[in-house]
Amino acid sequence: MVVTKLKKNDEIRVIAGKDKGKTGKILKIFKETNRVLVQGINFIKKHKKPTQNDRQGGIVQEERPIHLSKVMLLCSSCKKPTRVGRKFMESGEKIRFCKMCNADL
Ligand SMILES: [Zn+2]
């Protein structure tokens, strides 16, 4: 299990796969599988059988978690995909920073 520096609600950019270049917000992190669920990314089409409430059935689109290696954090300051650094404040508080522009994240 890899400890990710990403957090829920972080803005990320997809750097590999069919959604390469797209950006989205992290909805959920799956630490066990090293995947993140990102809003609007990695949609799959699912065929839905007709049910009592939905007699039509048809095709629904659903987001699937994407592997951490395929995303990079998008810095809110320099707007570039970046690696995240960690540093300790004098207070002992751990903060994240952008390795491109050094802004706190
Ligand atoms: Zn930055």
Cα(26) to ligand 1 centroid in Å equals: 18
CATH code for the domain defined by 1-74: 2.30.30.30
- The span from the CA of 100 to the CA of 58, in Å, is 45
Cα(4) to ligand 1 centroid in Å equals: 18
Cα(79) to ligand 1 centroid in Å equals: 6
User: Whole-structure pTM over 0.85, yes or no?
Assistant: no
**Domain spans of the chain, in order of start:** 1-74, 77-105
Average pLDDT per block of 10 residues along the chain, 105 residues long: 82 96 96 95 88 82 93 95 92 93 94
Cα(84) to ligand 1 centroid in Å equals: 9
Q: Scan for tokens 């903060």, then name that residue.
A: 95
Radius of gyration, alpha carbons of the chain: 17
* pLDDT value of position 2: 58
